[in-house]
Amino acid sequence: MKSPSLSRTTADLPESITRQLNMYVLAASAAGVGMLALVQPAEAKIVYTPAHVRINHKLALDLNHDGINDFYFVSSYNHASSCSSNYLIVSPYRKNLLLTKNFFPLALRAGVRVGGAQHFSFNGLMARASFNCTNGHSRFEGDWANSGKGVKNRYLGLKFLINGKVHYGWARLNVTINSILREVTLTGYAYETVPGKAIIAGATTGPDDAEPTASLTLTPEPATLGTLALGAPGLSIWRREAPVDAALRRN
């Protein structure tokens, strides 16, 4: 007796279903699963603001642009009968602090780390140049005075609060200060948005160390490999469980 033969027929699928299958095959080939997850590009955690502001007298600095001043610069000239002096001072608001050494704010080079266990204080005399009119002697104080030579593209290390949490930042300045000349220019500033995380002087971008927050899945949800193995009956189940994408239906 001959075994009964099994007849097979080929199902003609609607064009919209065929397109959905093609989408699924492409996704499954690329990801190896029925879902395609796209990790968003890394987002910078350093907020940098370029600037070119001459500090002739006073300047308030709102480091994170929240409407609250964080630091205050004063550049001034004093003259008396016996001497004259130029000076540059930065004053922290509230509980904000400056990276200092020997009571003077440091004039950091690019690449220096700002944050952690370093010494921060309220002392804000960046530079002072005094000239004695009687004997002609000059005196220079502060890292930013640099013995009257001045500095260019140096960084002020900053520690400040956002909503009660410590953040670190920097301000870049060009300073020329001596007994007869006082030129101070703020050329940019930046801060780290992650509380307690150190920042590198001069860094304007930083990696996003947070977990991925977004993913993209096929619409409708792609059929599982098991459903696809059922052939046409499985596709019928898929159609009932997930409507075909509206854009495909219009085609």
Give the percent of the chain with pLDDT over 90: 52
- CA 245 vs CA 11, 14, 219: distances in Å: 22, 14, 6
pLDDT attached to residue 135: 77
Answer yes or no: pTM beyond 0.95: no
Q: Across-strand partners of 192?
A: 46
pLDDT attached to residue 61: 98
Across residues 63-79, what is the average pLDDT? Answer: 93
Count how many residues are written for the chain.
Answer: 251
- The predicted-structure confidence for 120-150, as pLDDT tens digits, reads as follows 999 999 999 988 867 778 899 999 999 989 9
Residue 173: pLDDT over 90: yes
pLDDT attached to residue 7: 45
Q: Encoding tokens for residue 161?
A: 């609060």
User: Using 50, 70 and 90 to split pLDDT, how confident is the model at 38?
Assistant: very low
Residue type, 36: L
Residue of higher predicted confidence among 221 and 22: 22
What average pLDDT does the chain have? 75
Across residues 100-125, what is the average pLDDT? Answer: 96
d(CA 52, CA 62): 15
d(CA 48, CA 53): 15
Residue of higher predicted confidence among 92 and 215: 92
- Number of helices (H) and strands (E) in the chain: give both, helices first: 4, 14
User: Using 50, 70 and 90 to split pLDDT, how confident is the model at 247?
Assistant: very low
Calculate the CA dihedral of residues 81, 82, 87, 91 and round it to 10 degrees.
Answer: -80
CB 166 within 8 A of CB 196: yes
The structural domains of the chain, with segments of one domain joined by +, span: 17-22+36-43+207-251, 46-200
pLDDT attached to residue 19: 63
Give the percent of the chain with pLDDT over 70: 63
- The predicted-structure confidence for 181-200, as pLDDT tens digits, reads as follows 889 999 999 999 999 999 99
Residue of higher predicted confidence among 27 and 113: 113
Q: Encoding tokens for residue 171?
A: 């301000």
* Strand locations in the chain (E): 46-54, 58-61, 71-79, 83-92, 97-101, 104-105, 113-114, 120-121, 125-132, 138-141, 151-162, 165-177, 182-192, 199-200
